[in-house]
Structures are given as C-alpha cells and as structure tokens.
Structure 1
Amino acid sequence: MTITTRPTATPTTSPRRTIVAALTTVALVTLPAGSSVASEHRYDDGPWRGAWAASPQAPTAPFGANWSEQGFANHTVRQVVRVTTGGTTARIELSNRYGATPLRITGATVARTAKGAAVRAGSVRQLAFAAGPSVTIPAGGTAHSDAVPFTLRALESVTVTLHLATPTGPATFHSFAAATSYRADGDHRSDLEGTAFKETSTSWYYLSGVEVTGGQAPRRDTVVAFGDSITDGSGAGLDADNRYPDELAERFAAAGRPRAVLNHGIGGNQVTNDTVWAGEKGIERFKKDVLTEPDVRTVILLEGINDFGGSLPNGIADPTPEVSVERLVAGHRELIRQAHARGIKVVGATLTPVGGSFYDDPAVEAKRDAFNHWVRTSGAYDAVADFDHAVADPADPDRLLPAYDSGDHLHPGDAGYRAMAEVLDLDAL
C-alpha cells in the first residue's frame, strides 16, 4: 500500500515545437513522419497502468443533492466502473485530496459486477493496505491498495466497495459520474446481493482510479481525455458508458488492441478560472490529474467553452471573470508546455457548437469561432481533432446536429459522443 500527497509536477525542460497541418476534413490531423516532441521519459517506471480514472473534486452540490457535503458515518459505499484495459493484478486508488481531516477506510473489496449493486459469486476479493484491512489517508493525500490477483478484461465492469465505519466529514468526490453508486447502513462490503443498498447517487466518492498490471507487455500508450462536461459525459445515458472516451476505448478494443483511455473531465471546469463547484482551473489540475498518471503517451485537450460562457448568468453558480481568446490560447499553450515537458503528445480539439444553449451569445460564439480557428491553424498541437465539425449541424454550424444533441443544445447525447470518438485516428493516437 502506498500513501502519498499528490506531487505538483514542475516541468523542467522546454518542449520542441512541432507543427500540425490545418484541418480540412473531419479527421485527426497527424504530424509528418519524423516529427517529435520533447524526448521521452517515463514519469512512473513501475509496472502499473491506469485502467479507469476520475478527477477528484471538493465537496459541493451544484446539480442537486449528493453525499459529498455530509460525508459518511457507518456506511458502505458500492461503486461500479468499467475498465478500459485489462490485466491479471489490480489495485485501487483512493483520494482524500479535499478532505479537511484524515480519512479512515475501515475495509474495502473488489468484485465482478453482476446487476445494479449485486456482485458475482466467487469474485469478491478483500483489499489490503500495507497487509492490513484498513487505512487512514491524511488530508490532501492519496492511497493505493495492495496488489490483488484479479484478472480483468478490457471493457469489463468492476465493483469497488468501501466500508466507512467512522464519520468522514465532507467527502472528496467526482460530481458527475453518469453512473449509479449505492449506499447501505453498516458493513456490507462482502455482500453478493444488492438488497442492503437502499440509497443511490450519480457521483463517485473517494475512488479516483483502478490500476492493473500483467497480461500484456509493458508499453507507454495510455490516452488521457482532459476537459469539461463534454469529456465528463454530461448528456450520455446513465450507466451506459457512452462518453466519448468510452467510445474511443471501445474502438481500440474492437480493433484488437485495447488501450487505457482515462477520463479526466470535470463538468463546468475552466482552463483559466478556479471555481468552487467545478474544480481548480485546468492549468493547475492538469499537474495533479494527468501528469501523475503512469505511462501516458497522449492527451486530448477539449476545454474552453466554460471560460468563454462562464461570465454569463447560467443559474448554476455565480459568473466567473470574462476570458478573452488570447487568455484561453495562453492557457492551452501552458497545458501543451506541461505535457511536452513530460514527452506527452497533445491532441487539440475544437470547441463544439453552443447555439440554442444557455451559452448562446454573440460574443461567446465569436470567441468560439476565433479559438477554433487558432486550434486548426496554429500548429501548437501535435495533432488536431475537429469535434466541432464532427457534431455540428451542416445546415446551421453554430448548433449541434439534432440527432447528436442530448436536448440542452450544449452537450452531445450518446450518438454525438460516438461521432466524436470516430473522429480520432487510432493509429495516430
């Protein structure tokens, strides 16, 4: 078991500048043969690779009631996640990044998912922490369980259950999960049936990663999707695993070469402004969420529409300071610099349409168009994914194609996320 306070990664080298051709079709544009970024090195030279991830957030309730602000006391929390790559050994990562006090995990299990809160008979494995059944994670800290033999296949669902016997106080969590979590009174970490789990939530609590090892030769090929609610999967079907990073992982698996695709989106997040309800600004959390993941080869950056639209009243939170195109460009250049300093390839994505949504505003649209032009033509990234063209209505390019619209005219639905994933060139990634 390892307990850490997440390091703040400080880039120490300047990246070699690489040039990408302007985008002319709905496709991922790749660099010419022989192009490269800063010299490679592994941040984590151990055997582990991420199989699933979620970015931790401070306790808040912008979208309605959840369990984060009150926390837990003699509860069992059961959470279902789908891994994107397989292995023969597993461990979990737990985060107390935003806890004000130490977090006591009384016990934890991992099992194969059955239906709802139920798990498959014979699959429950007790997790240990430094060979003991429990662990205390300091405020601001992160803990990994000990390794447990547990064979997982790509795209298999796994259920992680935590027993929290003592009061936790407000909980570090991930607000928008597009997945159901379950809570029971008392200790039900080893239950096969889900009958004790009477309460549900659509957030994840404390669980920030599932990592695997074994089953394939070590290689540096993890893809991280970094962004806001459109990466997080707002608008996707509940418990359907249809976010665009999920769809990308399915494409890799269908091609016979499954790869880790980690989702580090946070709904409402901005590149340049901190918010209480949507996390630290991207240029800061990138260091904690992306640069601490093992074996990352490529990051897809899709973020900025909240920077432009956040100054408008939206009924969710107080407006944030207005952001110019130049400031957002500077933020993306900083993210690119951080990635290149670690030898990570960067795919820049255009911002998708907002016409008809609560961000529908002439000033926001002018900024979106100007920023997208910069993404397509600047050569700042190693490749470009034109998500804008992929989901826009050809008859009205400032709006989502109706078939791709979740209904709020801002977030794609399942079909829209599938179209976004189809834009990405697997070989280029």
Structure 2
Amino acid sequence: MSSPQPRPYLPTHAAPATAAAVGATPSASGPALWHGAWTAPVMRPSVAPWFETWAEQGFTNQSVRQVIRVHSGGTQVRIRLSNAYSDTPLQLTGASIGHTAGVGAVHPGTMHPLRFAGALSTTIPVKGRAVSDPAALPIEQFDRLTISLYFQDATGPATYHQLSMTTTYRAAGEHHRDPTATHYTDKVEPAYGSWYYLEGVETLGKRPPPHAVVAFGDSLTDGFGATIDRDDRYPDLLAERLLAAGVPRPVLNAGIGSNKLLTDSPLGGDAGVTRFARDVLEQPRVGTVIVLMGINDIQQSDAAQGGTGSADPPVTARQLIDGHRALIRAAHARGVRAVGATLTPYRGAAGWSPAGETVRAQVNHWISTSGEYDAVVDFARALDPDSTGRIRQALHMGDHIHPNPAGYRAMADAIDLTALEQ
C-alpha cells in the first residue's frame, strides 16, 4: 500500500450564500473593511469518542446558544454560518446576538436580532454559507458574545466544530430572543462543548486593526487541555500578549482536534492541505499564519484516537515536508506571511514510537533550518526546555501530548511578536 500523498492546493471555493463576499460589503464609498474577530473551522458531523455532541442528531424545534470571545472590536458585527457538510438545505428560523451575561444569559439591552438579506430567517444551500447583515453592536477586543440560533424544522446532521472548550446551551422551542437562561438548561457534560454551524464572526469599525494572525493546527491549537470557558488556549494568550505589547491584532484559531496535515480523518476533519484555503486564506484581512501540524500524521492514530477507521501507512518526513511546502506556497501566493512551528514532544503518549520520534526530529530540523518558512517558533523547546524528548511534567494535562494552561502560556510566550509582522 502506498504512503499518503499531499493533496494539491485548490484556490477556488464556493462563494458565500449571500450577495456579500466575506470581508467586504459594497457601498457608495467603496468596500467596507470587515475584519475577522473569531473563527472555528467546520467539520462533517461525527461521533466524538471522548464526549457527547449534538452533531449527528441535529436540531428540531430547538434553540442553540453559543458563546465566543472576539479578538477585535468595532461598531458593527456580523456572523458567518456554514452548511458545508450537509446534503440538504438548512432552514434557519431566527438568530440573535448580544453581550454575554454568563451561564447562558445575554445582557438584555444588547440583544439584537440578526437578519439575512433583510429577512429574519434564511435558507442556507447545500454546502453553502450565509453571512448575516450587519448589526449595530459596539464591542471591544476580548468581549464575549452570545449567538442564539433557532431551528423550527429538523436540520439533519449538523455541520459543526467538535471541540470548543466552551459551554454551548440548548433549549426546547423558540427562545433565541430570550435574554435569560431560564430555558437553556441542556448542555453536554463534561462541557468540552461544540460549536454548530457557526463559522466566523466579523467586526467593522472606523479604524480596522492590523491584518489578522491565523493559528492553524490540530488539538494543540484548538486548545484541548485548556480551561473550559476561560479562553486560555495558546492563540487566546498570544492575542493578549499582542495587546499588552501595544500591537493588538486578531488571532483567529483555525485548529481542529485530531486533524492531520496530509489525510482526512473521520474524527479530525479534512486534511490540513485541503482545508488551508478555506480556514486560513479566506479569513478577512489575514496577514500571517502560524502552522503547527504533523503529530497526528506521525502517530498513525485513528485507532488510538477512538478506534474508528484503519491506521494509515507510516508517514515519512519527506511527505510531511512536502505538505508544509504546499501550505507555504499557498500562503505566499496570497501575500500571507507563513510562520512554521516545531512539532512538540509526545513521548509517553499512547501513539509514541521510536520511528515516529525520528520523523518528528527530521521535520523539526527542516522547519528550523531550511529557511522556507518566513519565521520559526520553537514550540518544542517551549514545552521541553531541557530537550528530554518529553513535555515537562508541569506543562501537560496528564497525557504527555496536550498542554495544560501553563503549557499553552509557554507556547504563547515563545513567539517572537516581530515574527508576526508582514
């Protein structure tokens, strides 16, 4: 059996379902400079072996309340919804947005209905996207927003983002305009959470922020091991560092847990080389991408990550390097700066092997010395400062592969902020 090969970069993708393109709204004075404030890469519905989700069953006469923290402010806001992984159109009966009041509630004076091409409801085509009309909602960087969606008719299996590390709430019936949490009593326990249909949030202000940084990767970017509802993944902490340094920029998290660089996974979504265009290059005003990808390819870990699917043939360092090169070429073709991150240690984890460790070392040598990335961040050293081949005990969540909040802080602190400048 042949080894997996990187897929070619495909620069064209379906346009949003609304007339407005992502990142621009036509006006008499020219396009408005919408900028990315938050994102979550979407996935096909699947059964997560570690925790319950509502993806496969979908929603019928239910309201879903989702909380996000924005990385840029503005005077107006809009959302992007995705029906990318459905075979049927999605009927959205109603939606609202407002400032989070905690535990499923919304500050009443801030709640705004969301319209789509002027209507309070919309139909999102199969594999399509909808962008809401702007809502006049002043927000600041790091505000938490609550987005409520109501589905009267059965949705079928839901396009979603599996791991949110943020509690999502569900209510029976139509409650998307209810600011209280009275009816939002249903949530998944433990509350690792998922986001449903929600692909992005954009803001517009008088002065757009500098171009966004996109963090692209797997669960170490997605934030497994972070604190639920605390927003202490490494991209969150990097955004806080940028603000403290006086150079605030949105940091958009495009990580997917269990994601692989070269091959699709039933648990980890589309391969990194396939989804890079959508999840990175289609973000509004993206300027820099940080790439941390490859450990799941090395682990051959479909079996280790839940027992579904057969393991792929062993990946080689050359295949992973070719995959990284494809991402670099795609980024540079769009004028995006590409920052490579060294693959972090995982000795002690279930998927570790001596052969895999050799591949990791070879890939890290290429990332660090080839000069093909515009800059390099050494996440491996940040988590293993003594070069033991293991994540320092105080920096992982107990499984020897996923950082804890202190580990994510070490990763964020390891990034030279000047390396993110275009």
Per the normalisation by structure 2, the TM-score is 0.90
* The 10-residue stretch of structure 1 (77-86 or 187-196) with the greater mean CA deviation from structure 2: 187-196
Give the secondary-structure state (helix, strand or coil) at the position aligned to 2:177. Answer: coil
Match of 2:152 in 1: 165
Equivalent of 2:384 in 392, 408, 428: 392
Mapping of residues 57-76 of structure 1, within 5 Å: 57-62=43-48, 63-76=50-63
**C-alpha spacing 1:419/1:131, structure 2 compared with 1 (3 Å):** same
Instruction: Tell me if 1:96 matches 2:83.
Output: yes
AA of the residue aligned to 2:415: L
Bigger relative contact order (CA 8 A; separation at least 6): 1
Helix, strand or coil for the counterpart of 1:210?
strand
Q: Deviations over 1:132-152 (max 9, x none)?
A: 100100010011100011111
Counterpart for residue 368 of structure 2: 376
Quote the Cα distance in structure 1 between the aligned partners of 2:96 and 2:305.
39
2:394 equivalent to 1:407: no
How far is the alpha carbon of 1:336 from its aligned partner? Answer: 0.3
1:271 aligns with 2:272: no
Match of 1:141 among 92, 114, 128: 128
Q: 1:206 to 1:321 in 2, by over 3 A?
A: same
Name the SS of the counterpart of 1:51 in structure 2.
strand
* Alpha carbons 1:110, 1:160 under 8 Å: kept: yes
1:360 matched to 2:362? The reply is no
- AA at the equivalent of 1:425: D
Q: Aligned AA for 2:38?
A: W
Cα distance in 1 for partners of 2:398, 2:132 equals 40
1:283 to partner: Cα distance: 0.7
Q: Which one-letter code corresponds to 1:343 in the other structure?
A: G
Note if 1:210 corresponds to 2:210: no
Indicate the residue corresponding to 1:223 in structure 2: 213
Contact 1:273/1:321 (<8 A) preserved: no
Task: Count residues in correspondence.
Answer: 391
Equivalence for 1:119: 106
2:232: which partner in 1? 242
* Of 56, 59, 70, the match for 2:42: 56
Aligned to 2:11: 9
Secondary structure at the counterpart of residue 68 of structure 2 = strand
Q: Any stretches of 5+ residues in structure 1 without a counterpart?
A: 1-6, 12-41
RMSD: 1.8
After superposition, give the CA deviation of every residue in 1:340-388 in whole Å (9 maximum; x if it has no partner).
Answer: 0000000000011101111221111111111111110011100000000
- C-alpha contact 2:23 2:33 (8 A) present in aligned 1: no
Structure 2 residue ranges without an equivalent (≥5):
1-8, 14-21, 25-30
The answer to whether the aligner puts 1:281 opposite 2:271 as a matched pair is yes
Q: Name 2:328's counterpart in structure 1.
A: 336
CA contact (8 A) 2:339 2:419 kept: no
Shift of 1:46: 4.4
Which residue of the partner structure matches residue 154 of structure 1? 141
**AA in 1 matched with 2:331:** A
Distance 1:305 1:332 in 2: 13
Counterpart contact for 2:210–2:249, Cα < 8 Å: no
Q: What do residues 260-308 of structure 1 show as CA deviations (whole Å, max 9, x unaligned)?
A: 1100000111111111221111111001111111111100000000011
What secondary structure is seen at the aligned counterpart in 1 of 2:241?
helix
Shift of 1:257: 3.1
Aligned residue for 2:243? Answer: 253
**Distance in 1 of aligned mates of 2:417 and 2:224:** 24
Distance 2:120 2:303 in 1: 48
Counterpart selection for 1:346 from 338, 349, 356:
338
Q: Deviations over 1:14-63 (max 9, x none)?
A: xxxxxxxxxxxxxxxxxxxxxxxxxxxx9866411100000000001223
Q: Is the 8 A contact 1:154 1:253 kept in 2?
A: no
Give the conservation status (yes or no) of the 8 Å contact 2:114–2:133. yes
Separation in 1 of the partners of 2:314 and 2:42? Answer: 26
Separation in 2 of the partners of 1:296 and 1:249?
Answer: 14
